[in-house]
């Protein structure tokens, strides 16, 4: 089932996904907040582009990234280790608003800047050991809408996709990372940039 809630849904909705708990808040931040935060993050975050090795070939990641936290604990994925910068005031504002609904005190935020439709993020789970068991991941989107795909790790017939709109919040909880993969695929559409923030707890 494809879930496009842009015009029809304003209240939070839980996706129908076995072995997972995923809740989507389509308008968590209002348009004014979203525009202001997008511009601030675009200009103030220390973006970087790391090299990544896939199937023995090394190339630049197809997006820009950054790591911020309230501690100095690094985060590693795909043979990349990132050391955090201190949270900015805008990141703290976003984090504190999310913590009210998530009931989770987040320590760390991994940011992704998708500059256009050719920037992407391949199939993966947020299941690194630093995140502990059954991690809660809070994913915030600002800017261009992008499709977010899920697929079950063991049942190839279980798939889901959702259009993440500007100012939305996607909460992934419980066993989601154990049983599901997710991605942001490339698109041939001529689209503008999107900033994604994934808040997490690094133990």
Q: Does residue 190 carry a pLDDT above 60?
A: yes
Q: Does residue 7 carry a pLDDT above 70?
A: no
- The pLDDT value recorded for residue 77 is 84
Residue-averaged pLDDT of the chain: 93
pLDDT range class, residue 176, cuts 50, 70, 90: very high
β-pairing verdict for 137-143 and 194-200: antiparallel
- The pLDDT value recorded for residue 56 is 77
Write the CB contacts of 140 (distance below 8 Å, at least 6 apart in sequence).
Answer: 28, 29, 94, 98, 168, 169, 170, 196, 197, 198, 199
Domain at 2-200: CATH architecture = Sandwich (2.60)
- The pLDDT value recorded for residue 4 is 47
Q: Does residue 8 carry a pLDDT above 60?
A: no
């Amino acid at each position: 089932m494809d879930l496009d809630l842009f015009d029809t849904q304003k209240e939070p909705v839980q996706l129908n996904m076995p072995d997972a708990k995923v809740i989507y808040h389509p308008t968590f931040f209002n348009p004014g907040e979203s525009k202001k935060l997008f511009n601030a993050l675009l200009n103030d975050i220390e973006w970087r582009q790391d090299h990544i090795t896939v199937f023995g070939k090394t190339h630049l990641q197809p997006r820009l990234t950054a790591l911020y936290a309230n501690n100095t604990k690094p985060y590693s994925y795909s043979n990349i280790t990132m050391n955090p910068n201190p949270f900015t005031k805008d990141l703290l504002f976003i984090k504190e608003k999310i913590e009210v609904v998530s009931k989770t005190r987040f320590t760390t935020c991994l940011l992704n800047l998708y500059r256009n439709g050719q920037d992407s993020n391949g199939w993966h789970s947020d299941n690194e050991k630093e995140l502990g068991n059954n991690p809660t991941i809070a994913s915030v989107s600002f800017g261009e809408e992008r499709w977010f795909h899920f697929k079950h790790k063991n049942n190839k017939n279980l798939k889901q996709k959702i259009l993440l709109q500007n100012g939305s919040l996607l909460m992934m909880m419980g066993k989601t990372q154990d049983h599901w993969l997710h991605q942001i695929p490339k698109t041939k559409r001529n689209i503008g940039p999107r900033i994604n923030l994934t808040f997490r707890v690094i133990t």
